Amino acid sequence: MKTVDLLVEEHKNIKRMLKVGRQIAIDIMNGANIDYDDFALIIDFIRNYADDHHHNKEEEVFFKKMKEELGEPMVSGPILAMFSEHDLGRLFVRNLEEALEEVKAGNNDAKVDVIANLIAYTDLLNRHIDKEDNTIYPYGENNLSKESLAEAEEKMQRLEQDAESKGVQKKYIDILVSLEKKYL
């Protein structure tokens, strides 16, 4: 699978989890209890599939290749913005965890922080994915040399195969499917 096609496919899975997260936020707003086990699964998915598995490939392979070949305008502009949004997403997840701990400790008012950080994360990532899929990836695909694209694809495939040998994709798609069945 080509580099960009693989990244876009992973985005589809991430967006599916974002729909689950949004629905959970709506359910909490409407009075549902917080299922801490499900939140643990969601945070695990975000950290280990969306961030470690997916963002790592962007940051260390595709964006790195774009920075190397396409130069400073890419580094100081769109790529920096994507890295900043990755960091902002990590902040929302940390804040979400803290809010969950507050609710668990008896502070029901912290439910608003659970909802706020979950919705902030889902909104950020939906917009972020749109920019990558429709602007950054096509730009890289159209402007990188064939050699650079081939090198990125080779590195991406090695990372993908390594993750597959550890069962990463299967584990997180299984989590995603089970949460979709429960909430959507």
Give the model confidence (pLDDT) of 57-85 as tens digits: 999 999 999 989 988 777 678 888 999 99
Let me know: does 14 contact 49? Beta carbons within 8 Å: yes
State the pTM of this model: 0.95
Say if residue 158's pLDDT is above 90. Answer: yes
CA distance 131 to 123: 13
pLDDT band at 14 (very low <50, low <70, confident <90, very high): very high
Q: Where are the domains of the chain?
A: 3-183
Q: Which residue has the tokens 């008896």?
A: 106
Residues with Cβ within 8 Å of 21's Cβ and at least 6 positions away in sequence, in order, are 42, 118, 121, 122
Let me know: does 112 contact 95? Beta carbons within 8 Å: no
pLDDT of residue 166: 97
pLDDT of residue 42: 98
Say if residue 184's pLDDT is above 90. Answer: yes
Amino acid at 26: I
Say if residue 120's pLDDT is above 90. Answer: yes
pLDDT of residue 3: 87
Percentage of residues in the chain having pLDDT higher than 70: 98
pLDDT band at 94 (very low <50, low <70, confident <90, very high): very high
3-183 in CATH: which number? 1.20.120.520
